[in-house]
């Protein structure tokens, strides 16, 4: 009897956020990017808040 190995398809692989490492089972949404990079909605929200705060800082400095 010979053993065979198969590469799991994308749907079979456990996907995770490349930033916080939460699995697709732990988050509502997981957005795929290039080169097998993914980001969850929680990290998108954190990034949006960081950008908004940075923009406010720039506005108040001018």
Contacts of 18 (CB under 8 A, 6+ apart): 33, 37, 38, 39
Q: Is the dihedral of CA 22, 26, 31, 36 positive or negative?
A: positive
Q: Does residue 31 have a pLDDT over 90?
A: yes
Q: In the chain, what are the domain boundaries?
A: 16-62
The residue-averaged pLDDT of 42-56 equals 96
Q: Does residue 44 have a pLDDT over 90?
A: yes
DSSP class of residue 61 equals H
What pTM was computed for the model? 0.71
Residue 24 structure tokens: 């697709």
CB 24 within 8 A of CB 14: yes
- d(CA 26, CA 40) in angstroms, rounded, equals 9
């Amino acid at each position: 009897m010979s053993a065979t190995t198969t590469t799991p398809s994308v749907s079979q692989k456990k996907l995770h956020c490349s930033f916080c490492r939460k699995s697709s089972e732990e988050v509502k949404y997981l957005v795929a990017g290039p080169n097998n990079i993914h980001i969850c909605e929680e990290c998108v929200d954190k990034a949006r808040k960081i950008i908004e705060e940075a923009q406010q800082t720039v506005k108040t400095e001018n």
